[in-house]
Amino acid sequence: MKSVRHHIAIPHSKPTLGHEEIQFISQTIDSGHIAQGKIVSSFERAMAKNVGTKGAVACSSGTSALHLTLLAMEITSGDEVIFPSYVCSALLNAVQYVGATPVLAEIDPNTWNIDPEDVKKRLSHRTRAVIVPHLFGLAADLKPLISLGVPVIEDCAQAVGATYKGKKVGSMGFAAVFSFYATKVITTGEGGMVLSNSEDVLNRIRDLREYDQKSTYRVGYNYKMTDMQASMGLAQLDRLQGFIRKRRTIAQKYYSGFNSLPFQLPVRDDGHIYYRYVIRLEENSEPHISAMAKKGIECARPVYMPLHRYLKIEGYNRTERIWKKSLSIPIYPSLTENDFNRIIDSVVEVLGNSYRED
Ligand SMILES: *Cc1c(COP(=O)(O)O)cnc(C)c1O
């Protein structure tokens, strides 16, 4: 992309933080206990209760949460793990950490989530898990994936609070990983969590997460969350329903603002939390991302690079087409009415023009 810098008035992502977070964190600082402790445990219990699992283990990131999940499932070299090419490289990293073989799957052209039919074709006697991201806040089609008989790890990094057939995502697979990175739905700056109904897996992850005070030595990790981060997490979780309501309100404005444009808009679904609002164009989105930047609005391809490109594997045509033509526009709770009206006008102008020129 061109390196011309424009003044960005509206960034693509922005955390929603306020006095609640400041208050919770300053209480933790006052308590004198800032590393992993009671507040991390309450954040874990609150997340498990919110999603509906037996328990949770907080970690330093979504990546470390996934790494520990794969370790706890004893997935190792010679094993295969299936996940979509259309996702961030965190998944590929975690699978590589345990030495397993990544097997990339195609996505559904409508939802852009992993395609269960394609997963089925890629199953082998070595398949040990399928990682299922609920991309952009829309639940993937879990039912046919779970019925394949291979453990499903739900990746809820973009979908905390989203539902599938009325049930919260993160409660239906063998385990679920979450991320609380700064740009996610709720944040702790950096952070992650594993949720599961398997006490055995949760206990193993709890054991692997820290290295100190073990009676026998084996390779361990330091993947802990701090009480300072968990304080922010608790404040954010209190606000989650309000965040989701605001995201859905803005999404409705976008649907009506863009209904004259001949482009594919996100799937409408009652369980969608609109972590991202992604439009599929008829052509390469890069020139339009630049045109929006000139108007002070930062847009992006919501997946930086599909994994088959990193791994130099051919044949992911659907993923390739969708990736190139995808345009993600800002959507987050702190956008004002002025902001989203300006976004709508700019998108209609930029994309409307491109359409007429054709
Ligand atoms: C952000 C993200 C991750 C990784 O989480 P980190 O906390 O950045 O390690 C994994 N999967 C998906 C779908 C994500 O969006």
Q: In testing the pocket of ligand 1, which one of 59, 136, 155, 188 has its CB within 8 Å of the most ligand atoms? A: 155
Measured between alpha carbons, how far is 233 from 289 in angstroms, rounded to an integer? 32
What element of type H or E holds 165?
Answer: none
Predicted local distance difference test score (pLDDT) of residue 144: 98
Distance of CA 297 to the CA centre of its chain: 22
14-35 residue pLDDT tens: 999 999 999 999 999 999 999 9
285-296 residue pLDDT tens: 999 999 999 999
CA of 191 to the centre of ligand 1 (A): 10
CA of 157 to the centre of ligand 1 (A): 5
CA of 215 to the centre of ligand 1 (A): 33
Q: Which residues contact 106 (CB under 8 A, 6 or more apart)?
A: 84, 85, 115, 118, 316, 318, 319
Where the chain has pLDDT below 50, the residues are: 357-358
Q: What are phi and psi of 124, to 5 degrees?
A: -140, 180
pTM of the model: 0.96
CA of 358 to the centre of ligand 1 (A): 37
Predicted local distance difference test score (pLDDT) of residue 358: 46
Predicted local distance difference test score (pLDDT) of residue 2: 52
Predicted local distance difference test score (pLDDT) of residue 107: 98
Measured between alpha carbons, how far is 230 from 233 in angstroms, rounded to an integer? 5
For ligand 1, whether the C-beta of 87 sits within 6 Å is yes
Predicted local distance difference test score (pLDDT) of residue 294: 96
Q: In testing the pocket of ligand 1, which one of 181, 194, 221, 301 has its CB within 8 Å of the most ligand atoms? A: 181
For ligand 1, whether the C-beta of 187 sits within 6 Å is no
Please state at what angle helix 19-31 crosses helix 227-257, rounded to 10 degrees. 170
Atom of ligand 1 nearest to the CA of 63: 9
CA of 123 to the centre of ligand 1 (A): 24
For ligand 1, whether the C-beta of 84 sits within 6 Å is no
User: Closest residue (by CA) to atom 2 of ligand 1?
Assistant: 157
User: Closest residue (by CA) to atom 5 of ligand 1?
Assistant: 62
Measured between alpha carbons, how far is 213 from 26 in angstroms, rounded to an integer? 29
For ligand 1, whether the C-beta of 63 sits within 6 Å is yes
Instruction: Locate all alpha helices (DSSP H) within 76-151, ordered by sequence.
Output: 90-97, 116-122, 142-146
Q: In testing the pocket of ligand 1, which one of 69, 83, 88 has its CB within 8 Å of the most ligand atoms? A: 88
Cβ 307 vs Cβ 92: under 8 Å: yes
